[in-house]
Chains A and B, each alone.
Chain A
Amino acid sequence: MGSVKARIADIQRASIHDGPGIRTTVFFKGCPLRCAWCHNPECISFEKETLYYPEKCIGCGKCSEGCFSGARVVCGRDMTAEEILETVLLDRDYYAEEGGVTFSGGEPLAQREALGELIRLAKREGIGTAIETSLILFDEEILGEADLVMADLKIWDEERHRAYTGVSNREILSHFKLLDRLGTPVIARTPVIPGVNDDRENVEKTRDFLRSLRNVIRYELLPYHPLGEDKRRALGLPPAGFPVPDRGKMEELRRYADLRG
């Protein structure tokens, strides 16, 4: 106890877009996928990284002694499960029944020992737990214990999936089926990226697959947002360069995404 450490990119309190209610989201660092549109690019590498924001530099010339102006921000902190839980507990009074903690990333299942410990600790405290995952990895015990899993099915076509994320979706689909047997409620999601997966066929095929599962409570389409671009720049990466889907398109696609049909 106390020795399991997770490499964390950030902990965000009062988050409302990472599951129901008021939540604290723990962003794990490192992900096996390479999604071209990733909005948390600082969570891709498992290594600690420095994000550079030149506009914040005060020109003190003492970078080697540590930067305090916000120009160089180190991302990646090794924290014990207890340390993470301490922050999660700060907002426990706000969670109520629907809220709680969300483990996100990056890919939280890539650090399964720490994640398992965190889920156990949170449950012991009576705090609701949710995992946001690409399901490229699978851990029966952890996913079975979580109160909610939010999993992505990014692109239905295998080749396109490989082209845009770096991996096949075969394993992900089989993990969806395995997950379904565990009984954990699942919210399935597709980030809608114009020109990549914003076609009716992609949504309908995904929807049809999800309809075959028992524990998928909702299918959500999340419009691509360019909030990751600043961080990409700070990491020295070229812009992802995708456009934002317009509202009309999203409304149209959402009509095809209805699981009840």
Chain B
Amino acid sequence: MLTYEDRLKALRETKIRHTLEKRSQNGYTDLDDFGTVPLPPGYRVTPLYTSENRSFYGLAGMSENFARVMDAHPPYVDPLEMLAGRWRDMLVNYRGDLHYFPAWRKKQVTEEDLAGVTVEWSKRWDEKRFPYDDLKPIQKLYNIQSGIDSDAHLACDYTIGLALGFGGFLEKIAHYRALNPGREAFYDAEEVCVRAIIRFIDRHIEEIQRLLEIETRPEIRENLEEMLKTNLAVRTGKPETFREACQWVAYFNCAARVYTRDGAGFQLDTVLLPYYERDREKGILDDETARFLIADLLLIDPHYYQISGVDENDRDLTNRLSWLILEAAAAIDISANLTVRVHENCDPAFLREAVACLFRYKNGWPRFCSDKNLLEGYMKNGVPKEIARKRIAVGCHWMCVPGVEFPMNDTVKINVARVMEVAIGDLEKEKEPSTEKLFTLLGEHLRKAVEATAAGINLHIDHVAEVTPELVMNLMMRNTLEKGLDISQCAGLYTVGVDGAGLAVVADSFGALETRVEKEGVLTWDRVFRALRENFEGEGGARTRAILASAPKYCGGNTASDRWAKRITDLWVETVRRQEMPAGRRLIPGWFSWARTIEYGAAVGATPNGRKAGEPISHGANPNPGFRRDGAPTAQSNGIASVQCGWGNTAPLQLEFDPGVGLEEGGVELVERLIKTHFDRGGTLININVLDKEKLFAAHQNPDLYPDLVVRVTGFTAYFASLSPRFRQLVVDRFLEGV
């Protein structure tokens, strides 16, 4: 008889097989695993283009194509699982987005499909109706990722959906359709989407019935019977049991992913707690089954789920389910994006166990956020505590108030290294160049960059409902179905994240110029300018580069670059905050590059920190590799704590290291101390990898030997074997030894 443990082991093996198969279908992807399964042979979607540029927009275009992609999805039922459903493909693959294009899709598209598409530019935005040609030169100049046409990075309020079920959505749509005449097109589109999801479930029901006809193992038959019952219940009904709630969430997540690859998780241990407690009370659920169900949910989608933390009265939210979630993640031990909220009122034993998981499994989960610092920062925007406390970690580095906020977080970035390069171009024309003048010029260019970015954000918010309405996520947002409006039109909070990228490159450049040119006089300005123009390849260029690159760096500890990093952060925060926005919208500064350091680096010429043209820029708020000879994580922690932007968004501490001591040798206490101290000093989020140095280096040589090795790339975790060689190198370069 197969035990739960046997079944989980088999599921892990299937996952490894899928990871390798996906790599052969998709090519290398420097992305989240997303929980997708490979496409079946012969899979094909025929999109309905509603626009002459071979794309589709708006209510009808999006809902019809969503239904087509959903309908093309075969069911996924593994009799060893308790939950059914997986997603495999998404709408954006049919709108010419080269950034995400998997290899299999590249083979399908025609030249006609891709006419006018570039890496920077997809056909997700309806440019004919909403052009912004005036912004494009500035976006290009400063290497701005504008957020125009981006995925909706927002968080659903899962309590809305769990209380209604898919049938409840249909009833709600019918109810408000009657109350909002003139909004028929909106309600039609929402209805098309919900019905496509129900059809998706129906195909799973048929598949379970088919499997039941051939399954002979009694314990698996029993499981399939239970699965069938659950699926029939959640098809249109609202989930009543813990198992139904998990299954319902799994289906909703599949649908949201197919739609825009988006959506975000939720506070897993509190939202599902009533179901768990009710079932336990009724005696229909044991912890072993609950653990298996959560493991299955994590397997279906490595969504950003948050656990632990405190409520609006600072009372500990950690409960029995929080522990079970950690145990479930351990039981399945795959790519997972669990965030543990850290607060002094939380059960200290829980934090210790969460840190122990980093050591025990070395798969990059969980990560940690500071409840206090994020709350206090966000409240500065005038948001009351009870709402600010609901803002949870549901993305790589980002936070969101579920159901209420439209943050566009992680979609808008300014490459500050590129802005500095433009400023250096102006500095060259000055008679007496100085770092102070460069700082002033940087400020002027940042202002222009932020202004253009704000214009892009406003264009997006003003029109995205007509381009990419969030038809799936609208189902679980507040005021949407009630008013017949897309969430972009009726959000309660528009606190839009704008991240700067390349902090360490910029700070180290200022630090090197101050130290080597102004203080020591080892270099002249002319020599620096020439070396930059020549990419350090002309006469004496290599020595100039060595002189600049060897100057003390950001995170070195009280270095010139450390001081510049703080000044540049202040300048960045002030520039972003001073930007006027209409209609109660606010811009929230942060430091983050996501996984785009290679791409951003390609847009920047040689920089005065000794970085050559085209080399990757620094990662998020992290220092440049080699920032100290001892690579001290404490030094990195201090540096990053000092550059927090302070308005509720993060500048994450990204750590990958071999602590040099094991779980039993006090390693857990050391990392716990690092986490607590980083947060005490103002840090907001820690994306952490506790790695085995030898394994990482061996996997770098031959990733296929370690297909189950997971690393936290930025906020997300990914299978090391799926990353491109160049990206693997970046992860290895960031690696530190010792605590």
Q: How far is the CA of A13 from the CA of B629 in the complex (A)?
A: 10
Q: Judge whether A66 and B522 touch: CB under 8 Å.
A: yes
Q: Judge whether B633 and A14 touch: CB under 8 Å.
A: yes
Q: Judge whether A20 and B666 touch: CB under 8 Å.
A: yes
- Given the known inter-chain contacts A14-B739, A68-B547, please indicate yes or no for A90 contacting B660, CB distance below 8 A: no
Query: Does B638 have its Cβ within 8 Å of any Cβ on chain A?
Result: yes
Q: Judge whether A58 and B546 touch: CB under 8 Å.
A: yes
User: What are 30 A-B pairs with beta-carbon distances under 8 A?
Assistant: A13-B630, A13-B634, A14-B633, A14-B739, A16-B659, A16-B739, A20-B666, A21-B666, A21-B669, A21-B670, A21-B673, A22-B634, A22-B674, A58-B543, A58-B546, A60-B546, A62-B543, A66-B522, A68-B547, A86-B558, A90-B634, A90-B638, A91-B638, A93-B677, A93-B681, A94-B634, A94-B674, A94-B677, A96-B673, A99-B673
Query: Does A197 have its Cβ within 8 Å of any Cβ on chain B?
Result: no
Q: Within A83-125, which residues are at the interface with B (CB < 8 Å)?
A: 86-87, 90-91, 93-94, 96, 99
Query: Does B448 have its Cβ within 8 Å of any Cβ on chain A?
Result: no
Q: Judge whether B666 and A13 touch: CB under 8 Å.
A: no
7 tightest A-B contacts by CB? A14-B632, A13-B632, A60-B543, A68-B546, A69-B546, A14-B634, A68-B550
Shortest Cβ distance from A26 into chain B, in angstroms? 12
> Chain B residues with Cβ under 8 A from A94's Cβ?
634, 637, 673-674, 677
Residue of B nearest to A69 (CB): B546
Q: Within A15-57, which residues are at the interface with B (CB < 8 Å)?
A: 15-17, 20-22
Residue of A nearest to B550 (CB): A68
> Chain A residues with Cβ under 8 A from B558's Cβ?
86, 90
Most buried by B among A13, A60, A69, A87: A13
Q: Judge whether A14 and B738 touch: CB under 8 Å.
A: yes
Number of residues from A at the complex interface, CB < 8 A? 26
Query: Does B120 have its Cβ within 8 Å of any Cβ on chain A?
Result: no
- Give B residues with C-beta under 8 Å from A: 522, 540, 542-543, 546-547, 549-550, 557-558, 628-630, 632-635, 637-638, 659-661, 666, 669-670, 673-674, 677, 680-681, 738-739
Q: How far is the CA of A40 from the CA of B664 in the complex (A)?
A: 28
> Chain B residues with Cβ under 8 A from A86's Cβ?
558
Q: Judge whether B630 and A15 touch: CB under 8 Å.
A: yes
Query: Does A239 have its Cβ within 8 Å of any Cβ on chain B?
Result: no
> Chain B residues with Cβ under 8 A from A93's Cβ?
677, 680-681
Query: Does A126 have its Cβ within 8 Å of any Cβ on chain B?
Result: no
- Given the known inter-chain contacts A22-B739, A68-B550, please indicate yes or no for A12 contacting B674, CB distance below 8 A: no
- Given the known inter-chain contacts A60-B540, A62-B543, A93-B677, please indicate yes or no for A16 contacting B661, CB distance below 8 A: yes
> Chain A residues with Cβ under 8 A from B670's Cβ?
16, 21-22
- Given the known inter-chain contacts A14-B738, A69-B546, please indicate yes or no for A87 contacting B630, CB distance below 8 A: no
Q: How far is the CA of A87 from the CA of B635 in the complex (A)?
A: 10
Most buried by A among B547, B628, B634: B634
Most buried by B among A12, A59, A91, A94: A94
Q: Judge whether B547 and A13 touch: CB under 8 Å.
A: no
> Chain B residues with Cβ under 8 A from A13's Cβ?
557, 628, 630, 632, 634-635
Q: How far is the CA of A10 from the CA of B630 in the complex (A)?
A: 10
Residue of B nearest to A61 (CB): B543
Q: How far is the CA of A222 from the CA of B542 in the complex (A)?
A: 42
Shortest Cβ distance from A95 into chain B, in angstroms? 9
> Chain B residues with Cβ under 8 A from A236's Cβ?
none
> Chain A residues with Cβ under 8 A from B660's Cβ?
16-17
> Chain B residues with Cβ under 8 A from A59's Cβ?
542
Q: How far is the CA of A93 from the CA of B673 in the complex (A)?
A: 9
Query: Does A70 have its Cβ within 8 Å of any Cβ on chain B?
Result: yes
Q: How far is the CA of A127 from the CA of B108 in the complex (A)?
A: 65
Q: Judge whether A87 and B557 touch: CB under 8 Å.
A: yes
Shortest Cβ distance from B198 into chain A, in angstroms? 54
Q: Judge whether B673 and A22 touch: CB under 8 Å.
A: yes
Residue of A nearest to B681 (CB): A93
Shortest Cβ distance from A76 into chain B, in angstroms? 15
Residue of B nearest to A66 (CB): B522
Residue of B nearest to A91 (CB): B634
Q: Judge whether B630 and A12 touch: CB under 8 Å.
A: yes
List 6 additional A-B contacts (Cβ < 8 Å) besides A17-B660, A90-B635: A14-B632, A16-B659, A16-B661, A90-B638, A91-B632, A93-B680
- Given the known inter-chain contacts A60-B542, A70-B550, A94-B677, please indicate yes or no for A14 contacting B638, CB distance below 8 A: no
A90 contact from B557, B633, B659, Cβ within 8 A? B557
Q: How far is the CA of A22 from the CA of B673 in the complex (A)?
A: 9
Residue of A nearest to B667 (CB): A16
Q: How far is the CA of A56 from the CA of B635 in the complex (A)?
A: 25
Most buried by B among A12, A20, A22: A22
Residue of B nearest to A62 (CB): B543
Q: Judge whether B738 and A15 touch: CB under 8 Å.
A: yes
> Chain A residues with Cβ under 8 A from B543's Cβ?
58, 60, 62, 68-69
Q: How far is the CA of A87 from the CA of B638 in the complex (A)?
A: 13
Most buried by B among A17, A60, A70, A87: A60
> Chain B residues with Cβ under 8 A from A16's Cβ?
659-661, 670, 738-739
The interface bits of chain A over 166-208 (1 if a CB of B lies within 8 angstroms of the residue's CB, else 0) are 0000000000000000000000000000000000000000000
Q: How far is the CA of A22 from the CA of B543 in the complex (A)?
A: 37
Shortest Cβ distance from B628 into chain A, in angstroms? 7
Q: How far is the CA of A17 from the CA of B739 in the complex (A)?
A: 10
> Chain A residues with Cβ under 8 A from B550's Cβ?
68-70
> Chain B residues with Cβ under 8 A from A22's Cβ?
634, 670, 673-674, 739
Most buried by A among B661, B674, B677, B739: B739
> Chain B residues with Cβ under 8 A from A90's Cβ?
557-558, 634-635, 638
Q: How far is the CA of A69 from the CA of B522 in the complex (A)?
A: 14
> Chain B residues with Cβ under 8 A from A20's Cβ?
666
Q: How far is the CA of A22 from the CA of B549 in the complex (A)?
A: 29
Shortest Cβ distance from A16 into chain B, in angstroms? 5
> Chain B residues with Cβ under 8 A from A68's Cβ?
543, 546-547, 549-550
Shortest Cβ distance from B636 into chain A, in angstroms? 9
Shortest Cβ distance from B659 into chain A, in angstroms? 7
Q: How far is the CA of A21 from the CA of B660 in the complex (A)?
A: 12
> Chain A residues with Cβ under 8 A from B635's Cβ?
13-14, 90-91
Shortest Cβ distance from B546 into chain A, in angstroms? 4
Q: How far is the CA of A58 from the CA of B547 in the complex (A)?
A: 12
Q: How far is the CA of A207 from the CA of B197 in the complex (A)?
A: 72
Residue of A nearest to B680 (CB): A93
Q: Judge whether A58 and B738 touch: CB under 8 Å.
A: no
Q: How far is the CA of A157 from the CA of B360 in the complex (A)?
A: 42
Q: How far is the CA of A10 from the CA of B738 in the complex (A)?
A: 16
Q: How far is the CA of A174 from the CA of B630 in the complex (A)?
A: 36
Shortest Cβ distance from B109 into chain A, in angstroms? 46
Q: How far is the CA of A96 from the CA of B670 in the complex (A)?
A: 10
Shortest Cβ distance from A80 into chain B, in angstroms? 15
Shortest Cβ distance from B640 into chain A, in angstroms? 14
Q: How far is the CA of A60 from the CA of B628 in the complex (A)?
A: 24
Shortest Cβ distance from A130 into chain B, in angstroms? 15
> Chain A residues with Cβ under 8 A from B542's Cβ?
58-60, 69
Q: How far is the CA of A6 from the CA of B673 in the complex (A)?
A: 30
> Chain B residues with Cβ under 8 A from A99's Cβ?
673
> Chain A residues with Cβ under 8 A from B630's Cβ?
12-15
Residue of B nearest to A93 (CB): B677
